[in-house]
Amino acid sequence: MSLFERMRDDIASIQERDPAARTRLEVLLCYPGLWAVWIHRVSHWLWRHKLRLPARVLSQISRFHTGVDIHPGALIGQRLFIDHAMGVVIGETAIVGSDVTMYQGVTLGGTGKGHGKRHPTVCDGVFIGNNANILGNVTVGENSRVGAGSVVLSDVPPNSTVVGVPAHIVYHNGQRVLITDPHEIKDPLSDALIALSSRVDELEERLGATGPSAQPFADEEAERAAYTAELERLRVYVSMGEGI
């Protein structure tokens, strides 16, 4: 595919995915996310040909004009759409597949100062909501969705939807995923939830509220029934206004 064919392909993909894109000329002139992707292709070529400083300088010029910081070493697939394009950061060893959609504030970052592959791999057809953070050498599978504001710290299977801090799966292959074990949430409050659940189980067991034939609060129920029966017995002798 020639350079101009790839450019037309990028513009057409944005028109397909963004209902606000009315004409090709509007996309060309008003979409800084598109400019950032095009400039990255040049800076990445420079990076691969060992022209590291010019590549970094060009990426910083792109950052100044578009608000998108893509390291020249990142591998970007075809038809990447960065909508609104402000505050997006893509690290050096990140890999982004084809037909990926990102919104503003997305970060594909690392978790430390280690070397080697330290940034995420985002497979084809992934949707990443605004202000989502995908950190470390993790993989987001094909056609998955990352909810806005989520923090992804572990691999995401294909065809899944993840939300939360840290992110957990809520849909997989179109089916709702119900979480019954607090350990699966991996939330900072998980330990407190687990301790509370254990305490409730302990109290139910002490009160005799567990088991198929258990009758919780049996003594209280018996006293209440006896009291109600006594009131019914006395009702035939006492009524409002009598004896006055």
- What is the domain count for the chain? 2
pTM tops 0.85: no
Q: Are residues 55 and 163 in the same domain?
A: yes
Of the residues 125, 144, 173, the one at which a domain ends:
173
Q: Max alpha carbon distance in the chain (Å)?
A: 110
List of the chain residues with pLDDT < 70: 1, 180-190, 208-219, 235-244
Q: Are residues 114 and 216 in the same domain?
A: no
Q: Are residues 231 and 164 in the same domain?
A: no
Q: State the pLDDT at residue 99.
A: 93
* 86 φ, ψ (degrees, to nearest 5): -110, 130
* 25 φ, ψ (degrees, to nearest 5): -65, -40
Q: State the pLDDT at residue 82.
A: 94
Q: State the pLDDT at residue 183.
A: 62
Quote the tokens at residue 64: 């100044």
Q: Are residues 42 and 112 in the same domain?
A: yes
Strands 133-135 and 151-152: parallel
Domain that includes residue 104, residue range: 3-173
Q: State the pLDDT at residue 50.
A: 93
Q: Are residues 168 and 218 in the same domain?
A: no
